[in-house]
């Protein structure tokens, strides 16, 4: 019964979205306030209906109703309830429903919190939002209905892939989706601006919180995904340049660019066309990335050709949204007057450079990700894949100048600045960084130059974050408490995010230069040494989990500490066998500390030269935690920025008055 | 001039959609071999010796002169026993089948052939897997169809099913035999 009600709610939501797509747009064109206001209520109704449908699907999973096909395929009775519920979005159909759920929530958010927007802009944004909704709901209803029944119903279901039965999965996809779908709002804002022919400072200020609202969860989602891969896949890698990962990285890179270009549009009314293009591209990449990967055009887990209907639908959706938006951009954007001029050395110029680098980095990731598809289309006999060597070769050289620039940018004055003045502000930080770089190279030796320079770069970024606050707080007579008190949250946000980037860079550099590993066959009682660690295999044994059997190995890890006594801890490493799906997973034993992790994964029992033993892989991962902690800091910086009260009060009153006439009004 | 700049994203997008459209028509599971219509890479491997009919060894020149099947197998391979009756039948129907035991100890390969029967005219041991790399082997079992001139004409990934033999591979062999 639940399934049918859920299905019905979804159909109603689709019809609501259809009305919401048409009526507010008509209202905006005709200036009919009643029709425009309809968008707001329709958005709420649509959200309530989809929440209801999603809740019912979750109930089907919770009650283990195997007469629902989706439940039978992805849940099993002996699976813990939390994972059975999480399985709701651990599959294609359910995750599509999560997608439309988040889309509807964002739509309702614009309806609810968008009261400061001009009614016609809000109506247009809601209408475009609803068009996306119509397409996705139709995709869900007609090609991937989550509520399909199965007859006869099996007594027990197949379970969720055990790799995904992990707390990481419970939060990872929803966070990523919040990011992907969040960019739909900025996309709608961009298209609405093109339709209205108006992209000014006020527009950028209205849009910016939504950029942050998408960027923050996306940042968390990527960091969490990387962390999940680290502890669950069992060999201690934290980034694989896998198409799926790239699909999340590309919108993040463009979202970061958008975040910065929107500042320029907001403060200086410049780069409006560019900001619009970025907003369109960020969402398009979310779409292209998510679906092409999911549909198997790149990975062969689910073949596209097996279900051409879905593939064609997806492609049509991409053409419909991105194609229309880019066409609109080509037609309308030249009509937007370009904004205020700025000199080659200025905050605007710095942010433009930031954008160009981010765009270039995105382009090389895009090329690497889709090269196999393009190659195969051109010459069908070649099946290739692009791996880490390519990305290391192109990603690193493009990122380093960008990262160097991060600390310089905030020191630049708006509109016009001089190299001499900036140099004076940055003299001491620069000298400190160079001294640190030289010291590190001397300490680690020439062979580790790259890692040493990377660490220094991280230091430069963290210093840059601190410098933002230091300069802000420095009054005429030293540190001014009044200035500390009046510092806007956004400034804290910027400092935190830039420093977080530095923490991540320091983590990545140390990991790439100093991570060590060892594979050996160990017997009970034996001890192995690696880096500063001594690892003893105490005993092996078996254990029974709720829906798996585990083979466990217990280790004692003694690690030399920089300060006094050695640290001693016990780590358990497991291999789990899930009988229902006949899958195995690795649960590595990980000992975390501020300075690095010890990571132990176990393999098969094997006959070594000294008799039977257990294959053990030991890793020493210095500063690896910094990679994710830096990501968290960036997200917190974004959150601080989002909390800035500037976004909650009206549009700036001074800015339009200062400029001579409407700078970004259509030229016609 | 300015217009063209704004049109650039649209043009790039149209090209991309074209590629995706072509990609849609492809089966991502199909892994083409680089060797199709190219000569079989040269190799000269030792035999697994004592196996009944195991022969002295196998060189790539052996496969010239008559269309033949070159089957890559291993004693540790789970799908190989499933394919084995088909190979036996192919051999009984008079088509030459050669084997390469991939990353397998010769003793294990011999035991395996003794247990299941030997369909191979000659069986070579590629213990370190070096030849398999030249052949572009992605797993076991895999089978190459080689024509009279010693060129690879077809590559089968995974076991050959009886239906496949009847429907595609046998007609191909007949065609290759008829070729001048």
Q: What is the pLDDT of residues A233-243, one digit of tens each?
A: 766 788 888 88
pLDDT at B97 over 70: yes
Query: Which of B1, B4, B12, B13 to probe the A interface (max A CBs under 10 A)?
Result: B13
The residue assigned the tokens 């995706």 is: B20
Q: What ranges do the domains of chain A cover?
A: 233-417, 516-624
Show which of residues 10-69 on chain B sit within 8 Å of chain A, judged by CB atoms.
10, 13-14, 16-29, 31-32, 34, 36
Please tell me the predicted confidence (pLDDT) of residue A276. 94
Cα separation, A147 vs A144, whole angstroms? 9
Compute the half-sphere exposure of residue A39: CA atoms within 13 Å on the CB side of its CA: 32
User: DSSP string of A122-151?
Assistant: HHHHHHHHHHHHHHHHHHHHHH--TT-B-S
pLDDT at A13 over 70: yes
Chain-chain contact of B23 with A334 (C-beta, under 8 angstroms): no
Please tell me the predicted confidence (pLDDT) of residue A325. 93
Q: Which of A29-43, A288-302, B97-111, B114-128 has the lowest mean pLDDT?
A: A288-302
At A291, the pLDDT band (50, 70, 90 cuts) reads low
Distances B163 to A148, A414, B93, B145, B156 between C-alpha atoms, Å: 34, 74, 15, 17, 13
Cα separation, A427 vs B33, whole angstroms? 59
Which has more confidence, A521 or A18?
Answer: A18
At A583, the pLDDT band (50, 70, 90 cuts) reads confident
Q: How far is A395 from chain B (nearest CA, A)?
A: 22
Q: How far is A246 from chain B (nearest CA, A)?
A: 17
Q: What is the pLDDT of residues B21-57, one digit of tens each?
A: 777 676 555 566 677 788 888 888 888 875 555 567 7
Percentage of residues in chain A with pLDDT exceeding 70? Answer: 90
pLDDT at A653 over 80: no
B20: closest chain A residue by CA? A373
Residues 6+ apart with CB under 8 A from A190: A207, A275, A276, A277, A279, A280, A325
Q: What is the pLDDT of residues A594-616, one digit of tens each?
A: 888 888 988 877 766 677 788 88
Angle between helices A243-268 and A347-378 (to 10 degrees): 150
Nearest to B24 among A312, A319, A334 (CB): A312
Pairing of strands B123-126, B97-102: parallel
Q: Which of A1-15, A496-510, A651-665, B1-15 has the lowest mean pLDDT?
A: A651-665
Task: Classify A584 as helix, strand or coil.
Answer: strand
Asked if B2 reaches chain A (Cβ–Cβ under 8 Å), the answer is: yes
At A57, the pLDDT band (50, 70, 90 cuts) reads very high
Please tell me the predicted confidence (pLDDT) of residue A666. 40
Percentage of residues in chain A with pLDDT exceeding 90? Answer: 40
pLDDT at A300 over 50: no
Number of H helices, E strands in chain A: 20, 11
Please tell me the predicted confidence (pLDDT) of residue A339. 67
pLDDT at A402 over 50: yes
Chain-chain contact of B19 with A377 (C-beta, under 8 angstroms): yes
Cα separation, A533 vs A433, whole angstroms? 31
Q: Please, what is the average pLDDT of chain B?
A: 83
pLDDT at A648 over 70: no
Please tell me the predicted confidence (pLDDT) of residue B55. 61
> Which tokens in the block code for residue B26?
């492809």
Please tell me the predicted confidence (pLDDT) of residue B28. 53
- Decide: residue A507, CB within 10 A, 0-12 exposed, 13-18 middle, 19+ buried: buried
Q: What is the pLDDT of residues A446-502, one digit of tens each?
A: 888 899 999 999 999 999 999 999 888 887 777 777 888 888 889 999 999 999 999
Which among B126, B139, B154, B133 has a CA at the least distance from the CA of B38?
B154
φ, ψ for residue A105, nearest 5 deg: -65, -40
Please tell me the predicted confidence (pLDDT) of residue A664. 42
Asked if A282 reaches chain B (Cβ–Cβ under 8 Å), the answer is: no
Chain-chain contact of A383 with B32 (C-beta, under 8 angstroms): yes
Contact call for residues B87 and B97 (beta carbons, < 8 A): yes
Q: How far is A93 from chain B (nearest CA, A)?
A: 20
> Which tokens in the block code for residue A436?
């640190």
At A654, the pLDDT band (50, 70, 90 cuts) reads very low
Angle between helices A272-294 and A167-196 (to 10 degrees): 140
Q: Read off the pLDDT of each residue in A31-60 and give the average, rounded to a whole number.
A: 94
Task: Classify A593 as helix, strand or coil.
Answer: coil
Q: How far is A75 from chain B (nearest CA, A)?
A: 27
Q: What is the pLDDT of residues A520-542, one digit of tens each?
A: 888 888 888 888 888 999 988 88
At A280, the pLDDT band (50, 70, 90 cuts) reads very high
The residue assigned the tokens 């977080």 is: A500
Nearest to A373 among B2, B14, B19 (CB): B19
Q: What is the pLDDT of residues A182-226, one digit of tens each?
A: 999 999 999 999 998 888 888 998 899 999 999 999 999 999 989
pLDDT at B82 over 90: no
Q: How far is A376 from chain B (nearest CA, A)?
A: 7
- Domains of chain B and any CATH numbers: 31-178 (3.40.30.10)
Q: Read off the pLDDT of each residue in B74-100 and give the average, rounded to a whole number.
A: 89
This model of the complex carries an ipTM of 0.77
Please tell me the predicted confidence (pLDDT) of residue A609. 66
Chain-chain contact of A377 with B22 (C-beta, under 8 angstroms): yes
pLDDT at A661 over 50: no
pLDDT at B118 over 50: yes
Q: Please, what is the average pLDDT of chain A?
A: 85
At A293, the pLDDT band (50, 70, 90 cuts) reads low
Residue B146: which H helix or E strand, with range? strand B142-146
Query: Which of B2, B21, B24 to probe the A interface (max A CBs under 10 A)?
Result: B24
Cα separation, A615 vs A604, whole angstroms? 6
Cα separation, B138 vs B140, whole angstroms? 7
A325: closest chain B residue by CA? B10
Distances A354 to A277, A403, A480, B109 between C-alpha atoms, Å: 16, 9, 31, 61
Contact call for residues A622 and A183 (beta carbons, < 8 A): no
Please tell me the predicted confidence (pLDDT) of residue A651. 46
Q: Read off the pLDDT of each residue in A301-324 and give the average, rounded to a whole number.
A: 70
Chain-chain contact of B34 with A300 (C-beta, under 8 angstroms): no
Asked if B92 reaches chain A (Cβ–Cβ under 8 Å), the answer is: no
B31: closest chain A residue by CA? A383
Write out the E strands in chain B: 44-46, 57-59, 68-73, 97-102, 123-126, 142-146, 152-157
Which has more confidence, A435 or A158?
Answer: A435
**Between A and B, how many CB-CB pairs are < 8 A?**
78
Percentage of residues in chain B with pLDDT exceeding 90? Answer: 13
Chain-chain contact of B20 with A300 (C-beta, under 8 angstroms): no
Domain A516-624 has CATH 2.60.98: yes
Q: How far is A422 from chain B (nearest CA, A)?
A: 33
Please tell me the predicted confidence (pLDDT) of residue B2. 67
Contact call for residues B132 and B72 (beta carbons, < 8 A): yes
Which among A112, A117, A123 has a CA at the least distance from the CA of A39?
A123
User: DSSP string of B107-118?
Assistant: HHHHHHHHHH--
Cα separation, B120 vs B48, whole angstroms? 12
pLDDT at A121 over 80: yes
Cα separation, A250 vs B61, whole angstroms? 51
Contacts of A305 in chain B (CB under 8 A): 24-28
Which among A83, A79, A88 has a CA at the least distance from the CA of A54?
A88
């Amino acid at each position: 019964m639940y399934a049918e009600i859920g299905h019905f709610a979804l159909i109603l939501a689709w019809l609501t979205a259809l009305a919401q797509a048409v009526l507010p747009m008509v209202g905006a064109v005709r200036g009919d306030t009643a029709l425009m206001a309809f968008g707001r209520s329709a958005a709420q109704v649509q959200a309530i209906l989809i929440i209801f449908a999603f809740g019912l699907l979750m109930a089907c999973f919770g009650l283990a109703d195997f007469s629902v096909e989706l439940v039978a395929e992805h849940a099993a009775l002996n699976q813990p309830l939390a994972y059975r519920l999480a399985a709701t979005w651990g599959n294609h159909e359910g995750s599509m429903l999560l997608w439309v759920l988040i889309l509807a929530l964002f739509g309702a958010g614009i309806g609810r919190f968008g009261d400061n927007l001009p009614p016609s802009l809000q109506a247009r944004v809601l209408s475009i939002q609803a068009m996306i909704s119509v397409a996705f709901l139709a995709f869900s209803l007609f090609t991937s209905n989550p509520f399909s029944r199965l007859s006869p119903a099996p007594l027990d279901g197949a379970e969720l892939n055990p790799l995904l039965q992990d707390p990481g999965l419970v939060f990872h996809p929803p966070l990523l989706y919040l990011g992907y779908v969040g960019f739909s709002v900025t996309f709608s804002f961009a298209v609405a601006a093109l339709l209205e022919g108006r992209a000014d400072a006020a527009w950028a200020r209205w849009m910016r919180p939504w950029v942050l609202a998408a960027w923050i969860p996306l940042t968390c989602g990527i960091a969490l995904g990387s962390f999940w891969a680290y502890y669950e896949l069992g060999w201690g890698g934290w980034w694989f340049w896998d198409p799926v990962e790239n699909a999340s990285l590309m919108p993040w890179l463009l979202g970061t660019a958008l975040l910065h270009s929107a500042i320029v549009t907001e403060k200086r009314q410049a780069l409006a066309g560019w900001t619009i293009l970025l907003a369109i591209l960020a969402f398009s990449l979310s779409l292209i990335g998510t679906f092409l990967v999911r549909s198997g055009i790149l990975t062969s887990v689910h073949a596209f050709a097996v279900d051409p209907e879905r593939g064609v639908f997806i492609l049509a959706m991409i053409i419909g949204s991105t194609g229309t938006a880019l066409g609109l951009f080509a037609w309308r954007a030249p009509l937007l007057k370009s904004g205020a001029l700025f000199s080659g050395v200025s905050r605007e110029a710095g942010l433009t450079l930031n954008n160009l680098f981010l765009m270039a980095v995105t382009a090389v990731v895009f090329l690497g990700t889709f090269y196999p598809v393009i190659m195969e289309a051109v010459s069908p006999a070649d099946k290739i894949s692009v791996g880490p060597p390519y990305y290391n070769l192109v990603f690193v050289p493009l990122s380093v100048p960008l990262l160097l620039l991060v600390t310089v940018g905030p020191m630049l004055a708006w509109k016009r600045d001089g190299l001499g003045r900036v140099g004076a502000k940055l003299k001491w930080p620069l000298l400190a960084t160079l001294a640190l770089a030289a010291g590190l190279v001397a300490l680690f030796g020439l062979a580790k130059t790259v890692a040493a320079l990377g660490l220094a770069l991280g230091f430069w970024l963290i210093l840059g974050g601190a410098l933002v606050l230091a300069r802000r707080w420095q009054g005429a007579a030293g540190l001014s408490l009044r200035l500390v008190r009046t510092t806007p949250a956004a400034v804290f946000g910027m400092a935190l995010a830039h420093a977080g980037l530095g923490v991540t860079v320091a983590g990545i550099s140390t990991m790439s230069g100093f991570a060590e590993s060892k594979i050996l066959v160990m017997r009970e009682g034996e001890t192995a040494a690696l880096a500063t660690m001594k690892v003893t295999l105490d005993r092996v044994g078996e254990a029974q989990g709720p829906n798996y059997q585990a083979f466990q190995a217990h280790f004692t890890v003694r690690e030399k500490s920089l300060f006094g006594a050695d640290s001693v801890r016990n780590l358990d490493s497991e291999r789990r066998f899930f009988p229902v799906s006949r899958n195995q997973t690795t649960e590595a034993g990980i000992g975390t500390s501020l300075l690095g992790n010890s990571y132990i994964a176990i393999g098969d029992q094997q006959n070594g030269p000294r008799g039977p033993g257990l294959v053990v892989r030991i890793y020493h991962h210095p500063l690896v935690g910094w990679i994710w902690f830096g990501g968290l800091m960036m997200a917190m910086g974004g959150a601080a920025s989002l909390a800035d009260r500037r976004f909650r009060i009206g549009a700036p009153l001074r800015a339009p008055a200062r400029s001579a006439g409407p700078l970004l009004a259509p030229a016609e | 001039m300015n217009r063209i700049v704004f049109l650039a994203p649209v043009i790039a997008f149209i090209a991309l959609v074209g590629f995706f459209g072509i990609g849609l028509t492809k089966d991502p599971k199909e892994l083409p071999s680089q060797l199709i219509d190219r000569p079989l890479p040269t190799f000269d491997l030792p035999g697994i010796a004592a196996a009944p009919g195991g022969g002295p060894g196998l060189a790539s020149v052996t496969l010239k002169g008559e269309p033949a099947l070159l089957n890559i197998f291993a004693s540790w391979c789970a799908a190989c026993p499933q394919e084995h009756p088909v190979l036996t039948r192919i051999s009984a129907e008079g088509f030459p089948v050669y084997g390469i035991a991939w990353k397998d100890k010769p003793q294990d390969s011999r035991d395996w052939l003794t247990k299941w029967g030997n369909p191979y005219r000659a069986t070579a041991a590629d213990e370190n897997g070096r030849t398999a790399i030249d052949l572009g082997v992605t797993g076991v079992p895999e089978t190459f169809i080689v024509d009279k001139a010693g060129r690879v004409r077809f590559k089968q990934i995974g076991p050959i099913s009886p239906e496949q033999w009847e429907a595609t591979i046998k007609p191909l062999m007949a065609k290759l035999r008829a070729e001048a």
